[in-house]
Amino acid sequence: MFTIILYVLAGGLLLLSFLKDKKKTKIALMKAWKSFENILPQFLSILIIIGIMLAVLSPDTISKLIGQQSGCFGMVVAAIVGSITLIPGFVAFPLAAALLKSGAGFMQIAVFISTLMMVGIVTIPLEIKYFGKKAAILRNSLAFIFSFVVALVIGVVLG
Amino acid sequence: MKKLLNRYKFFIILAVINLGLVVIYPSLGKNSLSITWSNTLEMLSVIPPIFILLGLLDVWVQRETMIKLMGEKSGFIGVALAFFLGSAAAGPLYAAFPIAGVLLKKGSKFSNVLIFIGAWSTTKIPMLLFETSAMGWKFMLTRFIIDIPGIALIAYITQKVLHEKEINLIFKKAKNQI
């Protein structure tokens, strides 16, 4: 649905641009390709790492890691698993819902989802390319800490 | 050719490792290949429009306009725009970095770009809808409400901790990316 909107938007603007100025449009497309090719090696590497990691850390394994450990230790495990895995949302949320059913706590799930979205250990080389080492490490560390705050709030509201 | 090989060195090593896995642990290796393949397809579905928009933005949006909208003196408008841009996005977080690069290149304020990254990572509208259906609206809403100050705080602290020299270096990096 959103991908379709994205395509319509990009296609429409591209057409508009082409009608207004062919030369500029050509430059725009060249830039699009150049910036894509610029990060293609990292992109491809990330895709393979995710593949290997998710094969090792299958939903079953993740369930075992997060479902069995409760309390603070369980939250730390959930945060670490969430930081290193990169699962698309449409897989992550059903997994989280299943984990809840199988007895994991709201706080562990919240910290898992939050780190999953905000902290990206695998994608850090790409982030460093754009933001430099210090900013990238800083952002990820802060997001990691913040995920525990989210978990506490969720624990209070839903617990 | 040598340069090309050098750039893709890491990827080639990983590909060989993955193929090695297929030989040694057939089920795990095949599984990882199929996950990689489905992720590649997902990526290819969102990458073209994202990068086309990035190219158009770079060509058509004047630096002055971007500075006015999201630059140093853009105030609340800049923050709101950064948040909206990130929330309306589709695609994984790593697709956001190149766009962040263009925003920086065009003269966006650094903290606004961080807000954009934060919104992209955690308050994407398509994801929120999905989260509600899986976790219930109470879970989604609680997370959303706490995420907004969280994103702002992370952006603020990151901006404060980095020295001006380091931030200028990031802007310089962005200029050379495209």
| Per-residue confidence in pLDDT tens, chain A, 159 aa | 778 888 999 999 999 999 999 999 999 999 999 989 988 998 899 889 988 988 888 877 888 788 766 778 889 999 999 998 888 777 788 888 888 887 788 899 999 999 999 999 999 989 999 999 999 999 999 999 999 999 999 999 987
Residues above pLDDT 90, as percent of chain B: 73
pLDDT at A68: 63
Q: What is the pLDDT of residues B99-125, one digit of tens each?
A: 999 999 999 999 999 999 999 999 988
Average pLDDT of chain B to the nearest whole number: 91
Mean of the pLDDT values across residues B8-27? 92
> CA-to-CA distance for B63 and B65, rounded, in angstroms?
5
pLDDT at A3: 81
Q: What is the pLDDT of residues B116-155, one digit of tens each?
A: 999 999 998 888 988 999 899 999 999 999 999 999 999 9
pLDDT at A113: 94
Chain A residues within an 8 Å CB radius of B166: 132, 134-135
Q: Would the pLDDT of B177 be above 80?
A: no
Regarding pTM above 0.85, the answer is yes
Does the beta carbon of A159 lie under 8 angstroms from any beta carbon of chain B?
Answer: no
Residue window 81-120, chain B: list those with CB within 8 Å of chain A.
Answer: 90-94, 97-98, 100-102, 104, 114, 117-118
Q: Looking at A61-70, B15-24, B25-34, B144-153, which range is the least confident one?
A: A61-70
